[in-house]
Structure 1
């Protein structure tokens, strides 16, 4: 069920990072990504939050490498 009080208008652009609540199901994240691509022609990275900033060493430890 959608919490309509929590709905906010966003101007999502190609390459944006969107943080959704931790309770969001993977299928719902997939549907959101597909809807954004269909409606705005953009692709976004969608992650479950909360999100925190990591330094390069922490990112490398997790297998994320800066290009």
Structure 2
């Protein structure tokens, strides 16, 4: 992070890069939390897991 503020750190391009880095970090954290919640919900409700046509469903013979 910013160790000390000097004239170079206050350059508008650098401030923009700091803001973009912070924004990307926030987006990454939000996506990680969202993926964790989605995975938890999928594990707690296995009957609502998506099924794909033509794949075995575990209920008898697979569909042709």
Q: Which TM-score band applies after superposition, normalised by the shorter structure? A: under 0.3
Indicate the structure whose relative CO is greater, using CA pairs within 8 Å and at least 6 residues apart: 1
Give TM-score scaled by structure 1 length: 0.26
More helix by share: 2
